[in-house]
Chains A and B, each alone.
Chain A
Amino acid sequence: MDSSHAASAADHTPVESHATVQTYVRVAVVLGLLTAIEIGALYVKGIPSHALVALLLLFSVLKFGLVVAFFMHLRYDNKLLTVLFVGPLLIAMVIILAIMALFGAYILLARG
């Protein structure tokens, strides 16, 4: 049991040496601001819909990246963990695009 604790403590050393409570709070403030801008942008008239969608997607990706990098400590952890997560994430994005393309095309053809 003690050996497990020693290993766990060793595993955490990089996290403690890089991310501080102040960093976490700053990241949370940025996340809150990005969310507020996203919601506020919906109520601003005159923004072209393509620009609005691009802005919302960009902010969403930024928020996603901030949480993964800082709150989930992937920025400071072993690169193997990044591969373990980003690999399936890319596959998930391909799945989303493939399903949209395949099903969208099928429905359009069925209606035509």
Chain B
Amino acid sequence: MAAEHAVVAHDPNIGCTGLDNRKMGMWAFLGSECMFFGSLIGTYLAYKGKSINGPGPHEILNIPLTSVSAFVLLMSSLLMVLALAAVQRDDMRWGKIWLFMTALFGAGFVGFQCYEFTHFVHLGLTLQTNLFGSTFFVLTGFHGAHVTGGVIWLLSLWVLALRGRLGAQDSLKVEICGLYWHFVDIVWIAIFTLIYLIP
């Protein structure tokens, strides 16, 4: 028991708080991301309804389509926790399946967003068109970039798992990736309500 404590005490990843530094670092990063997205959401809301020319949100936003993509991202969060649970119990067969499915759902969300952006540009809404276009594309574009980064991270873990280099002993890697993934999901929960649903 004493020997075990001595080993833990010398682990460079465990700080004076008794928590893993990598996990604490990710939570601190997510905290900073809250403020980043907070400023983008605040800017969107500050300029809402103040565009001089169209098209405006009520003319262009496709709520049924975005509802499907929001649901896809929401369910990808479930797949992510299933992946973590599988890796923690060293069930790497299902770990690999859930990791890949999470990445696939994330890629699906990015696909929906690419379609939406292309459609909007065809309808005449670009970054330069009006205040709505500028704030909308910057906010949702940054979110989409975060999701894309998450998909690449998930696929990296999946490749590691395929090569047999990811097991229960590495579950913290999956947990930290999961924290990031759930964060992009909760940011979308806020964006979806504030931009798409609230009239």
Contact = CB atoms under 8 A, between A and B. Distances in A.
Interface stretch (B144-152, B157-165, B184-192): B184-192
A89 to B, nearest CB: 5
B42 A8 contact: no
Contact of A24 (B18, B34, B82, B171): B82
Contacts of B42: 95-100
Interface string B155-199: 000000000000011111001001100110110011011100111
B147 to A, nearest CB: 15
Chain A CB count within 10 A is highest, among B31, B39, B192, for B31
Contacts, number: 166
A81 B24 contact: yes
A98 to B, nearest CB: 7
B28 to A, nearest CB: 6
Interface size class of B (residues with CB under 8 A): 35 or more
Interface of A: 2-12, 15-16, 19, 21, 24-25, 27-28, 31-32, 35, 38-39, 42, 49, 52-53, 56-57, 59-60, 63-64, 67-68, 70-73, 78, 80-81, 84-85, 87-89, 91-93, 95-100, 102-104, 107
Given A11-B23, A32-B71, A85-B34, 13 more contacts: A5-B169, A8-B20, A8-B171, A9-B168, A15-B88, A28-B75, A42-B197, A56-B197, A56-B198, A60-B193, A80-B19, A84-B24, A92-B35
